[in-house]
Chain A
Amino acid sequence: MARRNTWSEAAWILGFAGLSLLMLVPLLFMLSTSLKYEQDVYEYPIRLIPASATFEHYVDLFTRPGVPMLRWFFNSAYTTFMVTGLVLLIDSLTAFGFSRLDIPYKRPLFMLVIASMMIPFPTTLIPVYVFLQQLHWIDTYKALIIPPLAAPFGVFLLRQFFDTAPKELEEAAIIDGCSAFGVYWHVILPVSKSVMATLGIFVFMGTWNAFLWPLIVTHSLKMRPIPVGLTLFNGEFWAERALTMAGATVCALPVLIAFLIFQRHIVRGITLTGLKA
């Protein structure tokens, strides 16, 4: 598609520049509202670039009684860190087993894991909630961290990758007397950094952004992660839009930064899952 027609290229660039501005408006509006003085928030005509800016709402966000923002931030960070780390460890062990080791019944077991990806998330929500309640795990970090580890996506993605990795190094390692775990640790993991980064960034974003799951398994204000906590502003603090937008900015910033750093891995992950289908 590399027909270089200058006029049509100029038209596309112009059109996309306009579209880009439009796509950025919600984020700009969020940022600009969060930086406005209270009296400027409801001024008309609306200014996308505030006349004068202040950080007072960000300070307010972390100090206001009744808004445990610091705790929400910790909840999100802790949950995300634990889920991402554990998924990388558990899924890579499993995918390695499925891909390389001689294990009875591994083929039907793998088929079962893959088939479970067809079950819509809301379908198991009710029974999982009942389990958590029986275990008295509702409103705990365990409920936020442990059930999401059973998601099959990572096992699927990593096995795909391990299946295509060359076997020569491994064979050499086995001849040198390396155990199965040694092969996993010293041979497979070092060559899988890129796909592990891809999986890691997906799990990081998925966990940091999760909404329905934490909405259901946490009840108290102090156990909420940021995205769910933010909706508090839609109710109780409705009048304080600048505070709300400051909260949204704080929630958006870590993932936007991660996205800019790991964009290559994200794109690769998406195209991998898309093309394999």
Chain B
Amino acid sequence: MPEPRRRVWTRARALNALFLVPYLALFLVWVIAPAIVGLGLSLTEWSIFTGEMHFVGLRNYLRVFQDDLFLRSLANTLYYTALSVILGNAFSLLMAYGLARGIRGKLVFQTIFFAPVVLSIGVTGVVWGWLYNGDFGLLNYWLESIGLPRVHWLSNPRWAMISVIIMVIWAGAGFNMMIYLAGMLNVPRGLYEAAQLDGANAWQQWIYVTIPLMKYTFAFTLTVSTIGAFQVFDQPYILTGGGPDYATYTLVYHIYSNGFRYFRIGYAAALSYLLALLIFGVVYVQYRLLTRTNVEY
């Protein structure tokens, strides 16, 4: 005889489900529905003024290859991501390494290194805009006082993206520093003592003990910083307005311009799906590479 089917919805379970209702309602309306509707919009051409909507198939997706500004923004984004992720994480690691040694004043240093992380990009942006100012900015004043020529930080296309990256590292490196620090303090001390007995110097301990044991920490920080870097917008928006000559014009900037300045909703939606695909692809490859090697100890 087949077992009698248990009822899925009893009174008690229905009451329990009420706990989930407020969040799931929000989640459905503001996450799931937009993700689906966005995909639909990306297949249309829609004028928000006249309300006319046409189905255009994949045309929006194909259009990107003829869009010079898209290609430009893609190149800028890749450049920004590579530099900011590598330099930013190197800087975070350096700070974490010093703190992990347990030097005196550790808490003071940690507080100062982390403090910029809590600031709004609105604050960071206007303050750095002033620091970078060509005529009255502090950075050029310093360069001049040590006999170097002034740099047109924000008005020279070759320097503009570098300026954005320096600001981003100042503002954000403290975050990954904390994660690296926690990872380093988690490595069992005995392993270092054993390595020392085997005659390993500080550098060898770092290469053969710390890095392999922190594999997942690295995978996490690098993945999360890459995801964030691909979405960069606020920093160039405030500091340079995407210029000069589109030197700091990024993918999300392109989505913003198309969606909210030119109101090409369909095209902007297609661009944002391409961004998601790009991020998934890069992160998948990166994560596989970073976690490939096995640690044996």
Contact = CB atoms under 8 A, between A and B. Distances in A.
Given A16-B98, A16-B109, A109-B20, A9 B130 contact: no
Contact of B121 (A227, A229, A263): A227
A26 interface: yes
A274 B122 contact: no
B228 to A, nearest CB: 9
Contacts of A16: 95, 98, 103, 105, 109
Given A9-B104, A124-B35, A211-B121, 15 more contacts: A1-B192, A20-B108, A26-B124, A94-B22, A116-B32, A116-B35, A127-B38, A127-B41, A150-B26, A180-B16, A245-B126, A259-B118, A266-B118, A275-B182, A275-B183
A130 B41 contact: yes
Interface of A: 1-2, 9, 12-13, 15-17, 19-20, 23-27, 29-30, 33, 41-42, 44-46, 48, 90-91, 93-94, 96-98, 101-104, 106, 109, 112-113, 116, 118-131, 133, 146-147, 149-150, 152, 155, 180, 184, 205, 208-212, 215-216, 226-231, 233-234, 241, 244-245, 247-248, 251-252, 255-256, 258-260, 263, 266-267, 270-271, 274-275, 277
Contact of A127 (B34, B100, B102): B34
Interface in B2-26: 8-9, 12-13, 15-17, 19-20, 22-24, 26
Interface string B17-51: 10110111011011111110110010000001000
Nearest to A241: B130
Interface residues of B, number: 96
Given A252-B119, A255-B118, A126 B112 contact: no
Contacts of A90: 22-23, 26
B63 interface: no
B119 A126 contact: no
B219 to A, nearest CB: 8
A45 B38 contact: no
Given A91-B23, A275-B186, A30 B127 contact: yes
A149 B126 CA distance: 28
A49 B33 CA distance: 54
Q: Which of A180, A209, A245, A258 has the most CB of B within 10 A?
A: A209
Chain A interface SS verdict (over half): helix
A113 B184 contact: no
Nearest to B273: A123
Contact of B113 (A23, A101, A113): A23
Interface of B: 8-9, 12-13, 15-17, 19-20, 22-24, 26-27, 29-35, 37-38, 41, 48, 95, 98, 100-105, 108-109, 111-116, 118-131, 136, 138, 141, 145, 170, 175, 178-179, 181-184, 186, 189, 192, 216-217, 219-221, 227, 230-231, 233-234, 237-238, 252, 255-256, 259-260, 265, 268-269, 272-273, 275-276, 279-280
